[in-house]
Amino acid sequence: MTGIGFGTWAWGNQLLWGYQPERDDPDLAATLSAAVQGGLSLVDTADSYGTGRLNGRSERLLGQFLRAMDPVQSQKLKVATKLAPFPWRLGRSGFKRAFDASKERLGGRLDRIQLHWSTARYAPWQELPLLDGLGDLVEQGLVPELGLSNVGPKRLRFLHEHLLNRGISLKSVQVQLSLLAPEPVLHGELADVCRELGVELLAYSPLALGILAIPPGVQGTTATMLRSRLFQRLLPASEDLRAVMVEIAASRSSSMAQVALNWCRAHGACPIPGLRRPGQAIDVTQALQWTLSEAERQALDQASKKTVVRMPANPFQSA
């Protein structure tokens, strides 16, 4: 079974998550501590996380909190960030300033650098020079590992081969994956290609922005308009799926969130749920203590397939 990591998209994001520094920052520090103590293996961030004037806030908070932790504890956590291929980032050195800025915000802690998305669909000439620039950072010993994000099986094969020809190992690829976005494991080739190539599959948004933690019949509440609209569309459509999740959670004396995470793990993916509160971190770490049976996984697979309304696809996802 895979481990479990966590993401920091919400750290500094006001538009979708309603971030407020005075209210949230103390909780975020405690959340990181609880996650590390509970055995979560990887933390994922990005240089574009944080809205408006708070751009880069996620990396900066993570670096600040890591520096304040016991070094023995913090070293147990693999730190990964993603660099966005914005149109003005061009050529083999196009990520150099962004990489240096991310590493500074993270206080020097950076174990894996990732291409945030592929530009193959709209600016194919931009992608390989930027990827080669990331490969150069690995060859120069500036960062140990290289990963991808938001690429499908065809692009994964192509980029994996390109890096392999340089003698560079591709460590991971992360995509949206949950019971409400099951395509990478139930309808596509991505999970199979990852296994074939020895690339770790990371599942972001494995709780579907919190929807998969809400029991059926309960009206979910959220502080932002964007999530409210998503809840209005997806909560009614996923009632039957969430009823199956509740039944399994009750039989396991666990939570719906743990069921959702262990469904990802049962399909060979390492889930990286977003965490904002210490209680969330404690709940997630408890998912490491058990696994789904084959019958439970199949019941969830079937319920997922019958849920026709899905999470919105990431517009940057490549084939």
Residues with active-site annotation: 49
Token pair recorded at residue 27: 């909780």
Distance CA 117, CA 316 (A): 6
d(CA 155, CA 291): 31
Closest CA to 276 of 14, 29, 1: 29
Residue 228 tokens, joined: 């409210």
To 5 degrees, how large is the angle CA 186–CA 190–CA 191?
A: 70
Dihedral (Cα; 111, 117, 123, 124), 10-degree rounding: 70
Task: For residue 55, give every residue at least 6 positions away whose Cβ sits within 8 Å of its Cβ, in sequence order, or none.
Answer: 12, 48
* 163 phi and psi angles, rounded to 5 deg: -70, -40
Euclidean distance between the first and final Cα of the chain, in Å? 27
- What's the gap between Cα 228 and its chain centre? 21
Residue 122, token pair as written in the block: 């709209």
- Residue 313 token pair: 């696809």
Cα-only R_g, the chain = 19
